[in-house]
Structure 1
Amino acid sequence: MLNKILYNTVLCQTFSPCGKYLVAGNIYGQLAVFDLDRILNPIVELLTSDYNQPKQIHTLDSGHQICSLASTEKFLIVGSVNLIYGWDWKGVLGVKLSKPSWVIKIPSQSSLEQIDVNSLWISDDEGKLYAGCGDNKLYVFNLEDGQQALVMSEHTDYIHSVHGKNDQLVSAGEDGNVFLWDVRTGKSHNKLEPHSNSKVSRPDIGKWVGSAALGDDWIVCGGGPRLALWHLRSLDAVTVFDIPDHGIHVSYFHDDCIVAGGTAKHLYQLNYSGEVKVELPVSATTVYSAVLRTSPNKVLAIAGSSPEIDLCTSFNYRDQILHFR
Structure 2
Amino acid sequence: MAVDQMDCRNWDEELYRNAILQARETLARTVFRTAFAPNPNANPNPNSDYIVTASSDGSVASYSISSCLEMGCGNARGQNWLLAEPEFLVQGHDGPAYDVKFYDDSLLLSCGDDGRIRGWKWQDILGNEAPMQGGNLKPVLDLVNPQHKGPWGALSPIPENNAIAVDSQSGSIYAAAGDSCAYCWDVEKSKVKMVFKGHSHYLHCIVSCNLSNQVITGSEDGTARIWDCKSGKCIHVIDPRKDEKSKVSFPSVNCIALDLSESWLVCGKGRSLSLWNLAARDCVTTATTGASVQDVVFDKNQILAVGAEPLLTRLNMNGDVLSKIQCAPQSVFSISLHPSGVTAVSGYGALVDIISQFGSHACTFRCRGLQVEYSS
TM-score by length of 2: 0.77
Q: Does 1:13 align with 2:34?
A: yes
Is the contact between residue 172 and residue 178 of structure 1 (CA under 8 Å) also seen in structure 2?
Answer: yes
1:214-229 maps to which residues of 2 (within 5 A)? Answer: 214-215=258-259, 216-224=262-270, 226-229=272-275
Match of 1:323 in 2: 366
Identify which of 148, 151, 154 aligns with 2:195: 151
Q: Against the structure 1 CA distance between its residues 114 and 305, is the aligned structure 2 distance closer, same or farther, given a 3 Å change threshold?
A: farther
Structure-2 change in CA distance of 1:78 and 1:248 (3 Å): same
Aligned to 1:234: 280
SS at match of 2:221: coil
Distance 2:264 2:279 in 1: 8
Partner of 2:91: 60
In structure 2, how many angstroms separate the alpha carbons of the residues matched to 1:244 and 1:61?
34
Judge conservation of contact 1:76–1:86 (CA < 8 Å) in 2.
yes
Contact kept? 1:194, 1:200, Cα under 8 Å: yes
Matched, 1:164 2:208: yes
> Identity across aligned pairs (percent)?
24
After alignment, is 89-98 or 68-77 more displaced? Answer: 89-98
Partner of 1:286: 331
Q: Whose helix fraction is larger, Structure 1's or Structure 2's?
A: 2
CA contact (8 A) 1:201 1:224 kept: no
- After superposition, give the CA deviation of every residue in 1:208-261 in whole Å (9 maximum; x if it has no partner): 00011223322110122611112213333211123212x212122121111111
Match for residue 250 of structure 1? 295
TM-score normalized with structure 1 length:
0.88
Distance in structure 2 (CA, Å) of the matches to 1:111 and 1:56:
39
Q: Which residue of 2 aligns with 1:34?
A: 63
Distance 1:252 1:58, change over 3 A: same
Per the TM alignment, residue 75 of structure 1 is displaced from its structure 2 partner at its CA by 1.0
SS in 2 for 1:91: helix
Q: 1:141 aligned to 2:172?
A: no
The residue that corresponds to 1:268 in the other structure is: 313
Are residues 152 and 299 of structure 1, via their aligned partners in 2, closer, same or farther at CA, if it must alter by over 3 Å? same
Q: CA RMSD in A?
A: 2.6
**Which residue does 2:227 correspond to in 1?**
181
The aligned counterpart of 1:308 is 351
Correspondence for 2:109: 77
Specify whether residues 177 and 201 from structure 1 end up closer, same or farther in structure 2 by C-alpha distance, changes over 3 A only: farther
Q: Which amino acid aligns with 1:157?
A: H
Shift in Å, 1:84 = 0.8
Q: Which runs of 5+ in 1 are unaligned?
A: none
Higher relative contact order (CA 8 A, sep 6+): 2
The residue matched to 1:209 in structure 2 has which SS?
A: coil
Which is higher, the Rg of structure 1 or of structure 2?
2
Aligned to 2:17: none
How many aligned positions are there? 316
- The amino acid that maps onto 1:99 is K
**Partner Cα separation in structure 1 for residue 244 and residue 32 of structure 2:** 30
